[in-house]
Structure 1
Amino acid sequence: MKETGITNFSIFARRACCNKEIFTLDFSEYKNIISEISSTKSELKRIGNNINQIAKH
């Protein structure tokens, strides 16, 4: 379990029994992309709020 990084024994046991092989994947690149998307999303939200305020005036 330590080598795979799976902390839940139930998930580990199911994967080991069903697949007979356990793969480890590195999602660090995707975490960076997701954080960039969320920051862009918040910026777009602020811009939308500013446009709405201008439209009301």
Structure 2
Amino acid sequence: MNLTNPVSLRKKPVKKSLPQTGERQSIVTIVLGTGLLFLADIVFYIKRKIT
């Protein structure tokens, strides 16, 4: 119990200190970045198939 309590207390303030909008923006940017790379790969693959 003594080991688990400090961990739970440490995790909670970290989440509260970080702004929710900032976390959402970082997730959105990562998702958009990976999506754009995936689309670019598909376009490149299609272009190679056509030519």
Q: Percent identity?
A: 10
Q: Which of the pair is proportionally richer in helix? A: 2
Higher relative contact order (CA 8 A, sep 6+): 1
1:1-57 superposed matches below 5 A: 18-19=5-6, 22=9, 23-24=12-13, 25-26=15-16, 27=18, 28=20, 29-57=22-50
Structure 1 runs of 4+ with >6 Å offset: none
What are the Cα deviations for residues 1-57 of structure 1, in whole angstroms up to 9, with x where unaligned?
A: xxxxxxxxxxxxx68x632x8342234222310111101111111111000000011
Amino acid at match of 1:42: G
CA distance in 2, matches of 1:56, 1:46: 15
TM-score by length of 1: 0.52
Size of the aligned set, in residue pairs, is: 42
Instruction: List gaps (5 residues or longer) in structure 2.
Output: none
Q: What is the Cα-based RMSD across aligned positions, in Å?
A: 2.6
